A and B are shown apart, each in its own frame.
Chain A
Amino acid sequence: MKLHLKVWRQNGPHEEGKLVPYQVEANPHMSFLEMMDVLNEQLIKAGEDPVEFDHDCREGICGSCNMVINGVPHGPLKGTATCQLHMRHYKDGDTVVVEPWRAEAFPVIRDLVVDRAAFDRIIAAGGYVSVDTGSAPDANAIPIEKNKAEMAFDYATCIGCGACVAACPNASASLFTASKIAHLSLLPQGNAERKTRVLRMVEQMEKEGFGDCSNHGACEAACPKEIPIDAIAIMRREYVKAALS
């Protein structure tokens, strides 16, 4: 199948970027990233610079394959990352526009690669639990109610990709931050830092220059892990509790 691509090319953080048209011959069994690999081989053979894009696991768990495909972060499928999107969802002759995440807090480094260090700093502000060093604790030493454990696990599936920010009209990082807070607030291990965690992570998210949440819910629709915005409701409850005590 022949595809007409329009790919965002930008040489560096402070350079002007633009969409550049390419044609690529793909087959329906390829993943979207494999199709991009084919494009890059083509470019290298022609002596041009390949398109820079992040990728690692190629199985939906690392959160690095970030592309906005035809205006939608991670492409048209629900609950999948770009690496899990296959070319069988496209038709011969389709035009596909590929752009990087757009948010001032995620500056473009080159082409489709953005700097997501802001997320790391939000995590460093409180998205962790303190544990004693020493030998590994016994499994199941801390009993946790089944439905709480399952809810916590659902929020823990966040892979930190940033699609929520990319989809949000305000470039808010609320879903990412809230999924970490919701996850840890549900578990006894998270109790020690429960109050300072939510206060500090919310403060950091604002410092990084992410926008406010307007409850559009664009994030939950784009999230490859289908994390619901109820996480954001939990974050707000946690924040009020922490601020009042």
Chain B
Amino acid sequence: MESQSRVTTALTSQVGRKILTGVTGVLLVFFVIGHLLGNLQLLDPDPNLFNSYGKKLHDFGLLLYIVEVALALLILIHAVIGISIFAKKLKARKGGYKGVGVKEGGMGKQSLASRTMIITGVVLLIFLVVHILQFRFGPAADMMIDGEKALDLHGLVMSTFANIWWVLFYVGVMLLIGFHLRHGIWSMLQSLGMMKPRWSKGIHGAALVIGLLLAVGFLLLPVIIYLRQA
């Protein structure tokens, strides 16, 4: 009992909350990278490549459900803490400054990306709901691969991205993911205390590159699929 309340106190403290955003952030970033690599198979004109990948995942059965629920929990924990940090900040700092100016040597690691984490985060949350309804629970047709039943997820993606509005929606959200990760990738490592004075500049720069690569990778998919069908 004693030790349990100590763990809860630690995890809900200001440092504990950052560790949790950091840990969930790292895991979600790994997921996002894996998701992009898997999705690149959509670019193969043969629908079977992507569909048999989808089938392989579905064949994990219970294990897949466990991973899906774990991912949902990660996002939920991450979002709840992110929103609570924002709510707390509104209370801790009511007014801003009327004067405007800049500090010699810059204003730290602040950027449009770092100041809009709550906005890009909430957009991501809404996007994730739409995205999961659309593709995980979407109207995918049944098909056969090597005599076994599978879902034609490839076809569902193709028909979705034949619509310019869906393409624009995805491109827009992917740009915001890039923004979220531009600050996020640097921030999660600092949150977990993985920082040395000599590294922080390099890591902050690397976060920009990785964020950009992920955003461009993801947004090229709907664009290429649309252009091929146009």
The chain A residues found within 8 Å of chain B, CB to CB, are 6, 19, 68-72, 76-78, 96-99, 102-105, 167-172, 174, 199, 202-203, 205-206, 209-222, 228-230, 232-237, 239-240, 243
A234: nearest chain-B partner, CB-CB: B193
| Cβ proximity bits B61-74 to A, threshold 8 Å, 1 near / 0 not | 00000000000000
B187: nearest chain-A partner, CB-CB: A215
**Measured between alpha carbons, how far is A102 from B93 in the docked complex, in Å?**
7
Is the CB–CB distance between A170 and B88 below 8 Å?
Answer: yes
Among A71, A105, A202, A234, the residue within 8 A (CB) of B14 is: A202
A6 neighbours in B (Cβ, 8 Å):
98-99
A79: nearest chain-B partner, CB-CB: B105
Among A19, A69, A169, A206, the residue within 8 A (CB) of B110 is: A169
B163 at the interface (CB under 8 A from A): no
Is the CB–CB distance between B92 and A211 below 8 Å?
Answer: yes
Is the CB–CB distance between A104 and B99 below 8 Å?
Answer: no
Among B85, B101, B186, the residue within 8 A (CB) of A212 is: B85
Given contacts A103-B92, A104-B94, A218-B108, contact A212 B17 (CB under 8 A): yes
Instruction: Return 8 A-B CB contacts under 8 Å, by A number.
Output: A76-B103, A96-B99, A230-B196, A233-B193, A234-B193, A236-B19, A236-B191, A240-B193
B91 at the interface (CB under 8 A from A): yes
B95: nearest chain-A partner, CB-CB: A102
B195 neighbours in A (Cβ, 8 Å):
229-230, 233
B52 at the interface (CB under 8 A from A): no
Spot the interface stretch: B5-13, B40-48, B146-154: B5-13
**Measured between alpha carbons, how far is A200 from B106 in the docked complex, in Å?**
33
B190 at the interface (CB under 8 A from A): yes
**Measured between alpha carbons, how far is A232 from B89 in the docked complex, in Å?**
18
Is the CB–CB distance between A220 and B108 below 8 Å?
Answer: yes
Is the CB–CB distance between B16 and A243 below 8 Å?
Answer: yes
Is the CB–CB distance between B191 and A99 below 8 Å?
Answer: no
Known: A78-B104, A214-B85, A230-B195. 6 other contacts (CB 8 A): A174-B14, A209-B92, A210-B92, A211-B85, A211-B92, A240-B19
B230 at the interface (CB under 8 A from A): no
**Measured between alpha carbons, how far is A23 from B83 in the docked complex, in Å?**
44
Is the CB–CB distance between A214 and B117 below 8 Å?
Answer: yes
**Measured between alpha carbons, how far is A70 from B97 in the docked complex, in Å?**
8
Is the CB–CB distance between A217 and B193 below 8 Å?
Answer: no
Given contacts A76-B104, A103-B93, A170-B85, contact A233 B194 (CB under 8 A): yes
Q: Give, as a whole number of angstroms, the nearest-CB distance from B90 to chain A.
A: 9
Is the CB–CB distance between A68 and B93 below 8 Å?
Answer: no
Among A171, A203, A239, A243, the residue within 8 A (CB) of B93 is: A171
B186 neighbours in A (Cβ, 8 Å):
215
Q: Give, as a whole number of angstroms, the nearest-CB distance from A26 to chain B.
A: 18
B85: nearest chain-A partner, CB-CB: A212
Is the CB–CB distance between B14 and A213 below 8 Å?
Answer: yes
Among A69, A202, A237, the residue within 8 A (CB) of B193 is: A237
Q: Give, as a whole number of angstroms, the nearest-CB distance from A219 to chain B.
A: 7
B99 neighbours in A (Cβ, 8 Å):
6, 68-72, 96-99
B102 at the interface (CB under 8 A from A): yes
**Measured between alpha carbons, how far is A222 from B18 in the docked complex, in Å?**
22
